[in-house]
Amino acid sequence: MTGGFLFIIFVKNKDMYVIVKHVSVNSNNRSKKVPVILLNSDTEVWEFETKEEAEEMKDIFQTNSDSGHVYEVKKI
């Protein structure tokens, strides 16, 4: 058999968590919140293996936010 293709799909069975930053933007003289998923240093979605790990990092960001941004942990 020649010319066949083999596809391998990797499925994560674990729950993963991300941090969403809600950024305030002004549009048409109205302020609204826009959700932005945080990326890691490789410009990939920054995933956390445990909710506790994500919550700890979220708390650090929230404590250091001086622009009024709100951070939230989401399960993916």
**For position 72, what pLDDT does the model report?**
97
The tokens describing 38, both together, are: 């945080």
| Interval 2-33: pLDDT, tens | 566 666 666 666 899 999 999 988 878 888 88
Angle in degrees, CA 50, 51, 53, rounded to 5? 70
Average pLDDT over residues 32-47: 95
**For position 63, what pLDDT does the model report?**
93
Q: Which residues contact 60 (CB under 8 A, 6 or more apart)?
A: none
Q: What is the pTM of this model?
A: 0.75
**For position 9, what pLDDT does the model report?**
64
Please, what is the average pLDDT of the chain?
Answer: 87
